[in-house]
A and B are shown apart, each in its own frame.
Chain A
Amino acid sequence: MKDSEIIELYFQRDERAISETQASYGKYCYSIAYHILHTNEDSDECVNDTYLRAWNSIPPNRPNHLSLFLGAITRNLSIDMWKRKNASKRGNGEMSVALDELAECIPDARSMEDIVETKELSRLINDFLHTLKEKDCNVFLRRYWYSEEYREIADRYQMNMNSVKTSLFRTRQRLKEFLEQEGVVI
């Protein structure tokens, strides 16, 4: 079923919207959740919650790209669950590795009053991503938006592992410089 038809089901409050969403994007959402959570049960829970959130937010929202709309919800829910389950632990799974890597992008702290708001940080990162070459941007997003492993990224873009690692390393360095130039404190 086409996205527009599924969205129409949501607008008609037809419960088939859920089953059609599951059929079309269940695996996609599950993959996003699993890359963050690494457990079947938690991933299933996040995906089911995604359907509920989508049901509650369409209407009034009418997504341009249903997959990305659902993916963003799944990602948010998965991050929340990861925080709940891992706040007290260290070194758990690929997510921790990704976060360790992202820590390299963080500019040195100045005063707490300068801490940038998430919305502003989001805008800045978005601006930064638009300055990157397409390949570097894609690799960065697959790693830090989708939490994919190096190997998966290498397979997707027909690159070798070292190229993926190098691209990510350079992009992290550039992001740090960019945020420093913008005077961002996280």
Chain B
Amino acid sequence: MSQKEEKALRVFEALNGVDEELLLRSEKKAEKKPAKIFRFRTVGRVAAACLGFLVAGGVFLAVQNSQMKSTTPMAEGIRFSAMENQNGRAEITEYDSADMAVRLETDEEAVPEGMKRDGADGITQNQTVESCLEAEVMELTPEQAKAEKLGAYLPEYLPAGYVFEDARLYLDAVTGESTELYECWSKGYDDIRIWVSRASVDEIAFVDVKNTASYDVYAYEIPYEDSVPGEYYEAFFHPVFRASDMTRELIGKRMKSVKDAGDTTTPRGNFAVWFEEGILWEFNGSADPRDVWAMLESACEASKNHIE
């Protein structure tokens, strides 16, 4: 064990003294959120509402200003003094005219009719952008998953007997762009899980397909942790292949039937495939390798049509 690993192990061991409350807190699973839709159009509505307030406020100020100009001498006009508060932020601390008090609260009258939204699918006026940004994941139906842009890479072909389990869409909290799509199907104790995500080429360490020793599950005994050489660890446990390298035989080398107590003997395995348009297609599950190949072929079909 290297000195660095020994030191890391000290940190790892020191974690045993973590407060129980923190560990208990980490036990909680996040509740599956219902589709709390966060789309650009949603943020757009919030932004439009904010813009509306600003425009309405600007118009209001301009009208008031012009009214004062016509009725009040300049010397008695508006006198603002901006002072730095303790946080260094400028604040309006004085104003001569009570009419000039700008209310920051939502003013029902000031909001254009078209921007008032309320109810389940709308944006309430008190809803903040932050509350929208909390949304990170959406539960989807199979149809919704397929309709997503990344859904083009979900398999058209599904092996006999497998049924839909769940699907989720992960969203970038800032842009609202979909970043990852997940779908799972199961058949008894067997399941197939597919992830489709965006990934640029510089994020990926590709497996050298010629070096079968780095990824062939038949070359090693279980537990793999004891039999696979350390230098192959990443390639063996989390291999990413280029789409152009994929063959039915290669998938066969990643899937193996294992006799475990309490589990099925259906071949199981995992691998990921990267498409040049920046799409990563990940498989993890148990199925006949021929079926997995057929599933991948439909993703290849989507790749030919190249989604943006």
> Is B307 positioned at the interface, with any CB of A under 8 Å from its CB?
no
CB pair A126 B19 closer than 8 Å = yes
Q: Which residues of B contact A12 (CB under 8 A)?
A: none
CB neighbours (8 Å) of A64 from chain B are: 20
Report if B231 contacts A (CB, 8 A).
yes
Structural contact, B24 and A68, CB atoms closer than 8 A: yes
Give the distance in Å from the alpha carbon of A89 to the alpha carbon of B25 in the complex. 35
User: Which candidate, B6-14, B119-127, B239-247, is the interface stretch facing chain A?
Assistant: B6-14
Q: In terms of DSSP, what is the predominant structure of the interface of chain A?
A: helix
What number of B residues sit within 8 Å (CB to CB) of A? 45
Binary B-proximity of A88-103 (CB < 8 A = 1, otherwise 0) = 1111110011111111
Residues of A within 8 A of B168 (CB): 158
Q: How long is the Cα–Cα vector from A151 to B180 in the complex, in angstroms?
A: 13
B250, chain A: closest CB distance, angstroms: 22
A39 touches B223 (CB 8 A): yes
Chain A-chain B contacts (Cβ-Cβ < 8 Å), number: 143
Q: Is the CB of A68 within 8 A of B229?
A: no
CA distance A103 to B2 in the complex (A): 11
Within the assembled complex, what's the spacing in Å between the Cα atoms of A126 and B15?
8
A141 touches B22 (CB 8 A): yes
Q: In the complex, which residues of chain B have a beta carbon less than 8 angstroms from the beta carbon of A68?
A: 20, 23-24
Q: Give every chain B residue within 8 A of A161 (Cβ-Cβ).
A: 180, 195, 197
Cβ-defined partner of A137 (8 Å) among B9, B12, B26: B26
In the complex, the chain B residue whose C-beta lies closest to that of A138 is B26
Apart from A96-B5, A160-B136, what 11 extra A-B contacts exist at CB < 8 Å?
A75-B16, A93-B233, A101-B8, A118-B13, A123-B17, A125-B18, A126-B22, A137-B25, A138-B28, A151-B284, A160-B170
